[in-house]
Amino acid sequence: MSIANAEDFAVGQTWSYKTRIVEPNSVLTVVKIDNLNDNEIIHISLEGVKVKNSQAASGFGETISHLPISEEALKNSVTKLLKSNVTLPEYQEGYEIWKEAYEKGEGGYFSIPVSECVEYMEQTINQ
């Protein structure tokens, strides 16, 4: 069951989503929307995550500044629109790196639930 329709997403929205059990208060913010090669790609930033990261002083990262995800996966992940027109977090550097890789055919986007994206990123960081 999805809560949102595609046209419901807009830059500057903060949503609650189906989180991992260890981060029930995590939220996501829509930072950019691209339509590339007929694919609607929503770029989000996450706050309140608890991603194991041996390089962080606390041993955990609390934000993911940029995560590209399919519209459908995001639609099936969000639970409630919390705010609109928020100040965007810093995401530009991660987006630019992604966009360059995407244009070269070396970058993609997630088509799995947000919570699984966080899990994947945690595993990737700690390899």
16-42 pLDDT tens trace: 999 999 999 999 999 999 988 778 899
Q: Measuring CA to CA, how many Å separate 51 from each of 7, 29, 99, 103?
A: 30, 17, 24, 28
Residue 95 lies in a domain: yes
Q: Which domain holds residue 95?
A: 6-125
**What is the pLDDT of the chain when averaged over all its residues?**
90
Dist CA 46 CA 118 (whole Å): 9
The reported pLDDT for the residue numbered 43 is 98
Residue 37 lies in a domain: yes
Structure token digits, residue 88: 């965007």
Bigger pLDDT: 40 or 114? 114
Dist CA 20 CA 119 (whole Å): 8
In the predicted model, what is the mean pLDDT of residues 1-29? 85
Residue 1 lies in a domain: no
pTM, whole model, 2 decimals?
0.90
Tally of structural domains, the chain:
1
Q: Does 3 score more than 60 pLDDT?
A: no
- Neighbouring C-beta atoms of residue 91, cutoff 10 Å: 20
3-state secondary structure of 87: coil
Residue 81 lies in a domain: yes
42-66 pLDDT tens trace: 999 999 999 988 777 888 889 999 9
The reported pLDDT for the residue numbered 94 is 94
